[in-house]
Every structure is written in C-alpha cells, then in structure tokens.
Structure 1
Amino acid sequence: MTATPTHTNKKVALVVGASRGIGRQVAIDLAANGYAVVVASKSYDQTPYAGARFPPDPNSNQSTINTVEREIREAGGEATALRVDTSDPVSVEQVVAQTVQKYGRLDAVIYNAGAIWWAPVKDTPLKRFMLMQRVNAEGLYGIVQAALPHLTKRDPAATPPKIGGRIVVVSPPIYSRFFRGKTAYAMGKVAMSVLTKGLAMDFEREGLADEMAITSIWPAVAIESAATDQFTRQDPKMANDLRKPTIFSDAILAMLRAPAAVVNGQLELDEDFLRRHAGVDDFSKYSVVPGMVPRRIMPAELPDLTVREQDDEGQRINLADEKVKGKL
C-alpha cells in the first residue's frame, strides 16, 4: 500500500551523509531556512537517544540521522531520517524513492557521503580503493541518476511554472597538488568533480542551465569534524586551524539562493564563494578558537580547466540513442 505523501509548501532537500559533522550542520541549517529535510546516512538507530545531554556531541558516534531528525523537529523544523548505504545501488535508488513518496517532490540534493583513506598507492589495499570509489564516485552517480527525473520536474505552483532543481556535491577543485600522498582517495573525489562539470554541460546542451544547476564545494580551511577530532584530542593546538561547519552550510545556502547560471558547473571553495557572492569579508565568527585565524589549506588560485577549443564538440555521439545502438 502506497503511503500518502506529506503535503508541504516547503522545498525538499535530501542530504546524504548527514549524521555528523558537516552533513549534520547542513541538514539543520537547511531546515532552519525553510526546507523539509531528509536526513540520510548509514547510521540509522531506532533506539531513542538516552544520553546525558541532548543533542549529543555532533562529531561522535552518538550523533545519528535519528538524533539529527529530532534536533530539527525540536527546533520547529521538518525532517525525516532515512537510512542509505551509498555503496549499494538498490539502497541509493530506494532513498530517493522514499523521499519523493514521503513529500511528493524533491528540490535539492546535497551529497556529503564519503569514504576516506589518505595513503600512498603502495599502502592502499585494493579493497580500500574499491570501497572509496563505491561510496564517493559511484554513490554520487547513483543518487544523481535516481534524483534527476524529480529534480527536472516543473513546479506548477511557480509563476511561471519552472524547474528549480539543485545538486551540491562535496568534492574539490581539480589541481595536481591534491593528488599527492592520497592518490586512491583523490581518484574518487576528482571523479565527483568531473561529474559536476559534465552534468553541467548536459544541462547547458538541454537548455536547462538557467533553471537547473550542479555545483561542487570544498573547504578552503579545515573544518571541525569527526575526522579532525581524533587529531585535536592528541594535540589541542590543532583546533587553532579549524573552522566551524557553519561556514559550509552558509556557503551551500548561498549557492541554493544564487541564480542557477551563476553556480552551474562550478567547483567552489566555501570561503571564496561567500566572499564573492554573499558579501562576506569577516570570517572570524567561523573560527573554532576565538581570535585565531586558521591556516588556509587550499591554493589562492586554481587552474582553468577550459581550452581554446572549448566550444568545438566535434561529432558528438550518444551511444544510448536508439539509432546509434542499431548500428553497433
């Protein structure tokens, strides 16, 4: 029996990888800014949180999609926790279908899920490499493919009816220094950025770039998270070089508000985007340690990936076209 969708006038955002750290903050801030949020991750726990304090430490294992859902609801927002395993194609399709079944629409996807292993090639086992590709590049691809038919639907409530679907991907600008010492990880993360560039070109070719957009975002300065917690516990001074995850959620909100044509296909850094498009020039409020100016970890300038012949497509071939398939 099909469940009746929840009737909401709110836009609906699916945040994948939302149980802790950056993803949790993005989900909470989207809800605070009027979105109904589907909080998705593997960390589904139906047992009510019984900790001494609520909410739990946002960077600990006690923070799950269920506690994030509760945080949002207790603050007056709208949220639904859905489990997803981004390494499983069936699970990926299901979480999108469940989102649409629940709310009847999907307006934005934020893909924050990720597997990490920073080590040289010789120290990265094949199984570890394969897991990173499944969770990072393949998981994103599956979510995007499942979501696209819903993101490209015209909203009849808009005047005039229009498409407004957005995708935000947590993946880096493409530059060679990023590969150093973490090649296997970089292969998956850069593949995610290639998807951002390629799908943006599809939108342009299909005449959707003024309505649809896919954008990548990456931190200019290291952000406080479960990953950084293990280092700051060993050396508390390392917190001097960290920013709060609110800088990331503020940048994502600014991206969602920006005209599609401005952000489509862009590989952005949170700080730089906020400076250029949201008028932010004082980033002190984001410092984990008040008064400290965290060290920037990303280059000040990044390479331009375009070439002189950028607009020359040559003979474009679509192997999915039935006429082409018939000749193979």
Structure 2
Amino acid sequence: MQNTSKVVAVTGASSGIGEATARRLAADGHRLFLGARRTDRLAALAQEITTAGGTAAFRRLDVTDAAEVTDFISAAHDRYGRLDAVVNNAGVMPLSPLEALRTTEWDRMIDVNVRGVLHGIAAALPRMRAQGGGHFVNIASVGAYEVSPTAAVYCATKYAVRAISEGLRQESAGDIRVTLVSPGVTESELADSISDPAAREAMKSYRAVALPASAIADAIAYALAQPPEVDVNEIVVRPAASPQ
C-alpha cells in the first residue's frame, strides 16, 4: 500500500474531526491546506504541524459561501501546484424536534452540511479533472443511514451527502475517487450548537460513549493511502460499546 505525499484541503479544520485529520495526515507526510472560520485556531494548528516538521497552511473559510470555497481551493492549488484530495468535513448539528419550528437552524444545516459539500465539489472537481485525478472524502454520519427523534433535518442533510457522494462516484469512475466516512458518536463540538433544551439534554446521555476524533482521522488516512486503482467508497465507524 503506497503512501506518497499528497496535497489535501480540509474544511472545518479548526476543531474535532477536521483538526484530528490535519494532525494525522501531516504525520503521514501530506501537505495540508486548512480552512475554517476560526483563523486563530487554524494558525495555532498550522504552527503546531510545521514545528513538528509537517507542511500546513490555512485560509479563512465559510463553506456556505461558494466564492470563498472557490478561492480556498484556488489558494491551495496555487500554494502547492496541485490538489490531490479534499476532505469535506465542515458540519453543524443543532438538533430539535420538528414541531419546534427552528427553521433558521434547518436552513443553517442545509447550507453547511449540504451546500458546503457541493461547493467543495464544484470548486475542486474541474482542477482534479484537469490534472488527471483526485479524491473527495465527504464526512457524513451514522445519521446517513438511520433517523432519530430531533435529528430529522440533520439526518436528511447526511442522507444527502451520502447520495451526492454515490452520484459523484458513479459519474467519476476511473479518475476521481470518492469516499464517504460516516462517524458514530465522536468527541467534537457539534453538540455545542444545539439550542433546543430537551434535545441538548438528550444528547448528553447519547454521547456518553464516544469515539476520539483521531479514530475518524485514521479512517480518512486509510482511504487516502490506498493505491490509485483502489477506491474505498464507504466507511462507517462506531464506538464498539454503543448500539447506535
């Protein structure tokens, strides 16, 4: 199994899975371009990586803004001369029952979780086609396979990411690889965005058993490390002690 250095752009890299992925991929020798809204965290992470001997740069990124995503991908390509992979990781999870009618939060989930992934694909796909190949790693959730109370809209966005990923795979056989990574409960700041009191309380017990973010980073690293003729399409990672 080869593991040559690749140029990888990571969205949502300021915390959680994105941050852990940046550390893991840098340790594997990949060159990273990191994006998120919290540039102070990105700066600290990039400095940590470079101090350890890795290669990382960053740029502020709001994935809901198509122009910003295009500029982010262009900056990654300009800095390193190519773009081998994009990890579409940015996501939000403000859970609530539908009857709460938190429509602003619904819109936010759709904008970040679905449009954000589409913006990443739209920005990077032409460049990957032009250079003869590339790899999209789209982060979904076990919510892409099952629905639970208070998570209807969140799960809908993750079902959408799953469908988009499979469509892209079928349309891109031969040059563009596509991997869907679906984490179970994972240590992250996702639950911090839950404003509904009942949903927030329920999430405390649901998240009592959680994977470290590094476990998801390991799955992403595995998919990226495969030789060109191998396309790892779907990886579901759950805590061993959890039935969900």
- Greater share of strand: 2
Q: CA deviation at 1:150?
A: 1.8
Aligned-residue identity in percent: 27
Q: Determine the structure 2 residue equivalent to 1:150.
A: 127
Aligned-residue Cα RMSD (Å) equals 2.7
Q: Determine the structure 1 residue equivalent to 2:197.
A: none
2:53 aligned to which of 76, 83, 95: 76
Contact kept, 8 Å, 1:213 with 1:261, in 2: the verdict is: no
Q: Determine the structure 2 residue equivalent to 1:131.
A: 108
Three-state SS of the structure 2 residue aligned to 1:39 is strand
Contact kept, 8 Å, 2:140 with 2:183, in 1: the verdict is: no
2:20 aligned to which of 25, 28, 31: 25
Q: Determine the structure 2 residue equivalent to 1:192.
A: 161
Q: 1:119 to 1:35 in 2, by over 3 A?
A: same
In the alignment, structure 1 residue 214 sits paired with structure 2 residue 214: no
Distance 1:116 1:238 in 2: 14
Distance 1:124 1:34 in 2: 46
Distance 1:180 1:262 in 2: 37
Q: CA deviation at 1:81?
A: 1.3
Q: Determine the structure 2 residue equivalent to 1:326.
A: none
Give the structure-1-normalised TM-score: 0.65
Q: Determine the structure 2 residue equivalent to 1:38.
A: 33
**Aligned length in residues:** 233
Three-state SS of the structure 2 residue aligned to 1:254 is helix
Alignment-mate amino acid for residue 26 of structure 2: A
Contact kept, 8 Å, 1:240 with 1:294, in 2: the verdict is: no
1:87 aligned to which of 64, 67, 71: 64
Distance 2:206 2:74 in 1: 42
Three-state SS of the structure 2 residue aligned to 1:116 is coil
Q: Determine the structure 2 residue equivalent to 1:181.
A: 150
Alignment-mate amino acid for residue 33 of structure 1: D
Alignment-mate amino acid for residue 237 of structure 2: D
Larger radius of gyration: 1
Contact kept, 8 Å, 1:200 with 1:214, in 2: the verdict is: yes
Give the structure-2-normalised TM-score: 0.85
Could you give the per-residue CA deviations for residues 287-315 of structure 1, whole angstroms, max 9, x where no partner exists? 8xxxxx63242xxxxxxxxxxxxxxxxxx
Q: Determine the structure 2 residue equivalent to 1:226.
A: 189
